[in-house]
Structure 1
Amino acid sequence: MKQERPHLDFLQRFSVVASWLGGVIVLASAIAISFDVLTRNILGKTYLQSFELSQYGFAISVAFGLSAGVVGRDHIRIDVLANVIPKNLRRILHFISIFSLVIISALLAYFAVELTIDSYNRGARSPTSLRLHTWIPQAVWALGLCIFAMVSVWTLIKSVKSLVRKDHKSCDLLIGFQGSNEN
């Protein structure tokens, strides 16, 4: 039996939309790579510089997909161990998990923004024939990581609020397993 999740707010809904955008980027990269492979084999040259663009696209799509992983509770857990420990201890471990995710996501976002600003200030360009300003894809990547950090923080805040209200079910639905074993 599937449990109802607490109402998803704007930031959480946006993270799901952002993950779909990441999927579109991966699909576009696959099409561009296929086109370049065909033109290289048939005409002897490439036109889209798909290798460089797909690298940027992959980093961006992963960054945007991370926040959807928080909303969907898709991050890796050790189910075998978690299923045999008491619910209260399990809930504490879930809090440690989301708190750790907040720290990691905040650090990733901070350093991504710092790298983007540094690349902009130095006027850095890619060492390829495109000579793309590297701050442009880095800014989009950093945006995805900032969304990841915001969704992680917001999920932690909402789960703490649920716990303070003694609404254990909502708390478990925010940061617990996807399965129905959190009752």
Structure 2
Amino acid sequence: MARLGGFLLLGAAILVTVEVIGRSSHLFVISLGTELATYALAVAATWSLAYVVFERAHVRVDVLAQRLPPLPKALLDLLALASLAAVGAVLASGGIEMFTTSLRLASKSNTTLGMPLVIPHGAWTFGLIWFTAVSLFRLVQGAMAIARHDYAEAARISAAPSADDEVEDAIADTEQRLSRDDAA
């Protein structure tokens, strides 16, 4: 979903570029790129949220947490995941309400395109629901690791990566690329 969101953003950038060039050269006056780009940005943003949770790419200022013993640190990481899931649930609830209203009223955009709003609202809401589901899944995984007293696994699931983790990942990626290059 994150890759599809990335392609949506790339497509939106191309549409807006074509539209700007077309307007400045007076080739066409119609404006579809901006509307589609707005939908693409909203969908890409929500579709990438779950990926960020799964990859532990969320940003947290955890100067204090880094100095805590493993159990309190793991519990704070779990609290952060629970907070993400709660925010996702609130947003998904609002998205579902908006989607059902668009569906019930057969709403269309007030533009030349006249897009049925149920399409972008549905894609956006699906991203929010998926984000919430992934957050809850990771929350349960983290809680199970803590219950087993496996704090390293709990950190691997729910903690934001430390600078040392990022360095280790970069070294591992480099070693993989080098071994692939040597094999080729």
Q: Same fold (TM over 0.5)?
A: yes
CA contact (8 A) 2:31 2:112 kept: no
Query: Percent same amino acid among aligned pairs?
Result: 27
- The verdict on how the C-alpha distance between 1:91 and 1:133 changes in structure 2, with shifts beyond 3 A counting, is same
Match of 1:122 among 100, 105, 110: 105
> C-alpha separation between the residues in 2 aligned to 1:165 and 1:85?
19
Q: Give matches, 1:76-115, under 5 Å.
A: 76-115=59-98
> C-alpha separation between the residues in 2 aligned to 1:120 and 1:70?
30
CA contact (8 A) 2:74 2:146 kept: no
Paired residue for 2:44?
61
Q: What is the CA distance between 1:125 and its match in structure 2?
A: 1.1
Higher RCO structure (Cα 8 Å, ≥6 apart):
1
Q: Give matches, 1:6-21, under 5 Å.
A: 18-21=1-4
TM-score, normalised by the number of residues in structure 2: 0.83
CA contact (8 A) 1:64 1:148 kept: yes
Q: What is the CA distance between 1:131 and its match in structure 2?
A: 1.1
CA contact (8 A) 1:32 1:48 kept: no
Which letter maps to 1:90? K
> C-alpha separation between the residues in 1 aligned to 2:160 and 2:89?
23
CA contact (8 A) 1:22 1:64 kept: yes
Q: Give the number of equivalent residue pairs.
A: 164
- The verdict on how the C-alpha distance between 1:84 and 1:166 changes in structure 2, with shifts beyond 3 A counting, is closer
Paired residue for 1:22?
5
Could you report, residue by residue, the CA deviation over 1:157-183 in whole angstroms, capped at 9, with x for unpaired residues? 1111112222221111000121247xx
TM-score, normalised by the number of residues in structure 1: 0.84
Could you report, residue by residue, the CA deviation over 1:112-162 in whole angstroms, capped at 9, with x for unpaired residues? 111101011011111111111111110011111111011011101111111
Q: What is the CA distance between 1:48 and its match in structure 2?
A: 5.8
User: What value does the CA root-mean-square deviation take over the aligned residues?
Assistant: 1.5
Paired residue for 2:147?
164
Larger radius of gyration: 2
Equivalent residue of 1:45, what SS? Answer: coil
**Which one has the bigger helix percentage?**
2
Match of 1:136 among 116, 119, 132: 119
> C-alpha separation between the residues in 2 aligned to 1:86 and 1:161?
18
List alignment gaps of at least 5 residues for structure 2: 166-184
Equivalent residue of 2:67, what SS? Answer: coil
Q: What is the CA distance between 1:19 and its match in structure 2?
A: 0.8
List alignment gaps of at least 5 residues for structure 1: 1-17
Match of 1:148 among 128, 131, 134: 131
> C-alpha separation between the residues in 2 aligned to 1:57 and 1:145?
14
